[in-house]
Structure 1
Amino acid sequence: MSNTAVRYLTMLRMVPRSPKTITTTELAKRLEGHGFPVTMRSIQRDLEKLSADFPLLVDENSRPFQWSFDRNATIDIIPALDLPAALTFELAKAYLSPMLPPRALSHLKPHFDEAHRTLLREKNPLGEWPNRVRVINRGLGGLRPNIDADVLETVTEALLREFRCRLTYQARNWPEPEEIIVHPFGLIFRDPNVYLIGVIEGREGIRQLVLHRATAGELVEQPVERPEDFDLDLYIHSGAMGMLHSTKPVYLRLRCDKPALNHLIESPLGFDQTTTEIDGNTFEIAVTVGDTQDLRWWLTAQAVHCDILEPQWLREETASTLERGLSRTQRSK
């Protein structure tokens, strides 16, 4: 493939879908970063030529011109979807639809539509997939809080480009909204909420910002200052997302009933979990977990199906919680 053809493909991939746009100035800067030094006038001529074959839009009322792809167009500059890829998009649609705001999903709509057309075109039973799959969550299934689409787009762009972002945010214990600068490290989807993990400029410690509490967002084109040792997976497995009672991990031993808690064998509570068969009705697990409120909620909910063997203090604490709950239930009769 010629160098010009590669440059064309590289440039097309840089043009966003409407309503987002990119200027010829920004395109020139990004292309130079990819090893294609070219003038803005050449970029303008290239885009005008490419618009004859691709659904490119231009706003000529601004200087420099702003370019975008038609938001509803299917862009066939990659290999056509095969059945596995089409099925993957159908699964992604089923899983993401309940989690993301409609405008965020709209960016994926052309891909979802193409995937569905592929399944139908192949006259494959998978074409009926959308009618045969549902995604539900465990628990009471409360409604998810609404997330401002502009905030979500700002945060995701900041993460991808490793820039800071400015948010108008109100934490639960703040008397009123504040404008903050955030150094974003990652996003965590923990039903029903979406959390932005990062540092607030001028404040100590890594924070968990619940995105539905942000009402406005703006990209700040300054690089993120991230601790060299920060790892999102290690952060999660430290128990930080479970309302920590302490930073000291808990060595937990449980005797569990079959089949009520058999899922713990298939889905361990931690990396180091060991399982020991006791008899046809019970098994024991030993695992290191975070000292969190989530752990206490889970042990209380599963008290009828498991015995806490270690640690003793957690066994006593859980028993006390259950006794207080029983006492309150009996008083309310």
Structure 2
Amino acid sequence: MSETAVRYLTMLRMVPRFPKSITTTELAERLNDREMSVTKRSIQRDLEKLSAFFPLLVDTDARPYRWSFDREATLDIIPALDLPAALTFELARAYLKPMLPPRALSHLQPHFEEAHRALLREKSPLGKWPDRIRVINRGLGGQRPGIDADVLETVTEALLKEFRCELIYQARSWPEPEAILVHPLGLIFRDPNVYLIGNIEGREGVRQLVLHRASGGQLIEQPVERPEDFDLDLYISSGAMGILHSREPIFLHLRCDKPVLNHLIESPLGFDQVTTDIDENTFEIIVTVGDTQDLRWWLTAQAQHCDILEPAWLRQEIASTLERGLARTV
């Protein structure tokens, strides 16, 4: 392949989708980093030639010109999607569609469409895969609250670039929205909500910001001040994503019925879970968990299928909850 053809393909990979764009100056710098020295004028001529074959857009009002791909364009640039990649995109669409605003998904729409075409082209039963998969979330399946697309884009860009962001946010307990400066540390999808985990400037502690409560946002190009000891996985495993009753962990010992609770063997409640078979009808688990409201809800719901052996105080608390529930029966 000629050097010119390689340069063309490299440039096309560097041009983002609208509304983002790139200048000929930026393209020249990136090509130079790849040891493809070329003038801005040559890049301009190359892009003008390529625009006859590819859906390239140019903003001629800007100096230097700004280039982007049409947002709706499907790009048939090699490498073509193979079956595993196409299936992955179909699964991603099925899972993400109910969780993200349409505009956020629109950035991936051309890839979804190409994946669908790739599956249809294959002379294989896998081509019918989209008609044979569905994603169902556990729980009551209530409607998810809507997230502002600008907010989601701001937050994800801030996380990727490790910049701060300003959000117009109203917590449930705040009388009115406030402008807050956030140091983002992570994003957690916990059905039905999306949470931005981070520090609010001027306030102590790591906070959980529910994204549907933010009505606007903008990127602040200042580096995030990240706590040295913060780890997103450890934060989740500490029970922080539940309603904490205390910061002290609970050493939980349960006797569980088979086969109803066999999923606890395949999906442990914690990293240190130890499972012991008792007989053909029961097994026991010992595990460290967070002291959360979610734990209490789960234990209450599974009361007919598991016994709380330890701690005794938690066994009594769940028993009292069930007794109060029975007292309400008409």
Q: Does the alignment reach a TM-score above 0.5? A: yes
Q: Equivalent residues in 2 for 1:128-139 (5 A)?
A: 128-139=128-139
**How far off is 1:178 after superposition?**
0.7
Counterpart of 2:284 in structure 1 is 284
Q: Equivalent residues in 2 for 1:1-333 (5 A)?
A: 8-24=8-24, 26-27=26-27, 40-327=40-327, 329-330=328-329, 333=330
Work out the CA distance in 2 between the residues paired with 1:198 and 1:33: 34
Instruction: Give SS of 1:240's match.
Output: coil
**How far off is 1:29 after superposition?**
6.0
Matched residue count: 330
Work out the CA distance in 2 between the residues paired with 1:31 and 1:223: 27
Work out the CA distance in 1 between the residues paired with 2:231 and 2:94: 29
Distance 1:142 1:199, change over 3 A: same
Distance 1:82 1:286, change over 3 A: same
Instruction: Give SS of 2:241's match.
Output: helix
Instruction: Give SS of 2:145's match.
Output: coil
**How far off is 1:305 after superposition?**
0.9
Superposed CA deviations along residues 224-250 of structure 1, whole A, max 9, x for unmatched, are 111222211111111111122222211
Distance 1:44 1:258, change over 3 A: same
Distance 1:82 1:321, change over 3 A: same
Give the structure-2-normalised TM-score: 0.92
Q: Which consecutive residues of structure 2, in runs of 5 or more, have no partner in the other structure?
A: none
Deviates more, 1:142-151 or 1:84-93: 84-93
Superposed CA deviations along residues 102-140 of structure 1, whole A, max 9, x for unmatched, are 111111111111111111111221222221111111111
Q: Percent identity?
A: 81
**How far off is 1:7 after superposition?**
5.7
Work out the CA distance in 2 between the residues paired with 1:244 and 1:15: 46
**How far off is 1:35 after superposition?**
6.9
**How far off is 1:81 after superposition?**
0.9
The one-letter amino acid paired with 1:232 is L
Deviates more, 1:227-236 or 1:189-198: 227-236
Distance 1:105 1:247, change over 3 A: same
Distance 1:208 1:115, change over 3 A: same
Distance 1:72 1:278, change over 3 A: same
Give the structure-1-normalised TM-score: 0.91
Work out the CA distance in 1 between the residues paired with 2:314 and 2:122: 57
Work out the CA distance in 2 between the residues paired with 1:18 and 1:74: 13
Instruction: Give SS of 1:171's match.
Output: coil
Superposed CA deviations along residues 17-54 of structure 1, whole A, max 9, x for unmatched, are 12333344555566667777766545434433432343
Work out the CA distance in 2 between the residues paired with 1:207 and 1:104: 24
Instruction: Give SS of 1:242's match.
Output: coil
Work out the CA distance in 2 between the residues paired with 1:177 and 1:67: 37
Distance 1:315 1:68, change over 3 A: same
Instruction: Give SS of 1:253's match.
Output: strand
**How far off is 1:14 after superposition?**
3.4
Work out the CA distance in 2 between the residues paired with 1:13 and 1:244: 47
The one-letter amino acid paired with 2:140 is L
**How far off is 1:15 after superposition?**
2.3
Work out the CA distance in 1 between the residues paired with 2:182 and 2:114: 37
Instruction: Give SS of 1:57's match.
Output: strand
Distance 1:57 1:162, change over 3 A: same
**How far off is 1:313 after superposition?**
1.3
The one-letter amino acid paired with 2:264 is L
Distance 1:307 1:27, change over 3 A: same
